[in-house]
């Protein structure tokens, strides 16, 4: 769907959600192949399953259904006697085509520079796509003080159960790695060459950190959810922690709690919110009060960050000697389920959760086809060098600082932290 139709749908969303009669649309949408049966089923179960929730999800998902999705949808409305909405959309679309400046994006102010987004073909050879680490980039080095007082404070924190989680079990927990490399043709998503390198690094790293590691490759969206639910249903009572790693294409997504979504190999998205909530205190009681860590290597959107000039930027960080690819995919909105009322418990339902993103929401995440992603290579290097002495948040700050200094295009990892204590890995 082109940007004009996408913007039109968003401007009309309030009225569509208010008036759209979805029950009569399902068969027509299927017959015109606007949606697959699985997609229709997901829309029907959106949110609380109410008409308005289904209508909202239908309008949101319609943006992903190709260049002719809007005119086909208007025809579906006419076929189901929703002529007022059909006429409203058709006239709005015609008016937009006749006067695109009235509803289009704002023009840049004269005299000011505006960013120009270049397509992959303009930046690299045809085989390349935007996510890459340059071979000459060294592993991150220590930027801390190394003072005796720092070491003492860390040791005190580790040994104080009021300040740090106790990771004493061996193994200390399960680690599930979902590694999606090859995507079906219909998804229009490219193979994620180099992701197996990321997977091998993380598999070895978390084993060294005393986790039992399980790897699942090339899962469709429903298979991803099933694998996560199966992990959450295990008995974690004798364990101290749980780790989930997702390596896949991703996209921007509206959210109530955690932004973004990752793609199954069938091209269907799974929201980060849904993934995290499978393991919250209400859904996974045997992990109650224990840290649940999520590491997401995927694009948060399609924007490419050109960065800004700083005096200390080193020349070697301005060029790239590798073939960059990204895990970007089109914007998806409203992918997550609505919140359900929390059960009464001794801790907040979403507590003890830590979600680490490879990139800022809305931006691409870079991956080298020969060395793996910037984020995972840096994460592995930082953990190797500092996990014996520093807590998780400090480690991820090192990762963010190192990744932010790479490449022509820029990338900044970040995290959502709902841990109640510091977390030091078992060494």
Question: Are 153 and 44 members of one domain?
Answer: no
Q: Three-state SS for 215?
A: strand
Question: Are 252 and 329 members of one domain?
Answer: yes
Q: From the centroid of its chain, how far is CA 201?
A: 20
Q: Which of 200, 279, 183, 197 is nearest to 233 (CA)?
A: 279
426 located within any domain: no
Indicate the pTM of the whole model. 0.58
Instruction: Give the residues of the chain that fall short of pLDDT 50.
Output: 103-149, 301, 305-306, 309-321, 330-347
Give the structural domain span for 90: 3-103
Question: Are 316 and 410 members of one domain?
Answer: yes
Question: What is the DSSP annotation of 356-411?
Answer: EESS-TTB--EEETTTEEHHHHHHHHHHHHHTTTS-HHHHHHHHHHHHTT-SSSB-
130 located within any domain: no
Question: Are 187 and 95 members of one domain?
Answer: no
217 forms beta bridges with: 179
Question: Are 9 and 71 members of one domain?
Answer: yes
| Residue 236 annotated among the catalytic residues of the structure | no
141 located within any domain: no
Question: Are 284 and 224 members of one domain?
Answer: yes
- Given the residues 199, 241, 251, 299, select the one marked as catalytic: 299
Assign residue 321 the CATH number of its domain: 3.40.50.1460
Instruction: Output the pLDDT for position 152.
Output: 52
Q: Which of 48, 82, 103 is the last residue of a domain?
A: 103
Using CA atoms, how far apart are residues 197 and 203, in angstroms rounded to an integer? 10
Question: Are 54 and 156 members of one domain?
Answer: no
- Given the residues 174, 199, 249, 284, select the one marked as catalytic: 249
10 located within any domain: yes
Question: Are 411 and 326 members of one domain?
Answer: yes
Assign residue 45 the CATH number of its domain: 1.10.533.10
E-state strands within 164-203: 173-179
Question: Are 159 and 97 members of one domain?
Answer: no
Instruction: Output the pLDDT for position 19.
Output: 92
117 located within any domain: no
315 located within any domain: yes
What is the domain count for the chain?
A: 2
Q: Which of 47, 75, 103 is the last residue of a domain?
A: 103
Instruction: Output the pLDDT for position 287.
Output: 94
| Residue 249 annotated among the catalytic residues of the structure | yes
Question: Are 51 and 188 members of one domain?
Answer: no
Question: Are 207 and 70 members of one domain?
Answer: no
134 located within any domain: no
Using CA atoms, how far apart are residues 339 and 336, in angstroms rounded to an integer? 9
Question: Are 152 and 76 members of one domain?
Answer: no
181 located within any domain: yes
């Amino acid at each position: 769907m082109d940007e004009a139709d996408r913007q039109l749908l968003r401007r009309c969303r309030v009225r569509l959600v208010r008036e759209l009669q979805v029950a009569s649309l399902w068969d027509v949408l299927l017959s015109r192949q606007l949606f697959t049966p699985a997609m229709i089923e997901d829309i029907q179960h959106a949110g609380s399953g109410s008409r308005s929730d289904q209508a909202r999800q239908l309008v949101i998902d319609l943006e992903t259904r190709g260049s002719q999705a809007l005119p086909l949808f208007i025809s579906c409305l006419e076929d189901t006697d929703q002529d007022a909405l059909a006429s409203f959309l058709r006239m709005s679309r015609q008016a937009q085509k006749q006067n695109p400046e009235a509803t289009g994006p704002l023009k840049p102010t004269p005299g000011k520079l505006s960013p120009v987004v270049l397509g992959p073909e303009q930046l690299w050879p045809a085989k390349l796509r935007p996510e890459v680490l340059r071979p000459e980039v060294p592993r991150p080095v220590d930027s801390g003080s190394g003072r005796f007082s720092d070491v003492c404070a860390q040791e005190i924190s580790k040994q104080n159960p009021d300040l740090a989680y106790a990771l004493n079990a061996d193994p200390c927990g399960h680690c599930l790695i979902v590694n999606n490399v090859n995507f079906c043709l219909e998804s229009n998503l490219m193979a994620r060459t180099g992701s197996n390198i990321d997977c091998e690094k993380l598999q070895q790293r978390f084993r060294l950190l005393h986790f039992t590691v399980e790897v699942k490759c090339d899962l469709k969206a429903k298979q991803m959810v099933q694998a996560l639910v199966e992990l959450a249903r295990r008995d974690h009572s004798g364990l101290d922690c749980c780790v989930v790693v997702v390596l896949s294409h991703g996209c921007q997504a509206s959210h109530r709690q955690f932004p973004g979504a990752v793609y199954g190999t069938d091209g269907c998205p799974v929201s980060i919110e849904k993934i995290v909530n499978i393991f919250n205190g209400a859904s996974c009681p045997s992990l109650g009060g224990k840290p649940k860590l999520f590491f997401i290597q995927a694009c948060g959107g399609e924007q490419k960050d050109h960065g800004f000039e700083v005096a200390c930027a080193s020349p070697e960080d301005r060029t790239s000697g590798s073939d960059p690819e990204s895990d970007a995919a089109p914007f998806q909105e409203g992918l997550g389920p609505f919140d359900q009322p929390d059960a009464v418990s001794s801790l907040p339902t979403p507590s003890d959760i830590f979600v680490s993103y490879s990139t800022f929401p809305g931006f691409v995440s870079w991956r080298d086809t020969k060395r793996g992603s910037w984020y995972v290579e840096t994460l592995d290097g930082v953990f190797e060098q500092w996990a014996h002495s520093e807590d998780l948040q400090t480690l991820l700050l090192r990762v963010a600082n190192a990744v932010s200094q790479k490449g022509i295009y820029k990338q900044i990892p970040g995290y959502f932290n709902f841990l109640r204590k510091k977390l030091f890995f078992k060494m």
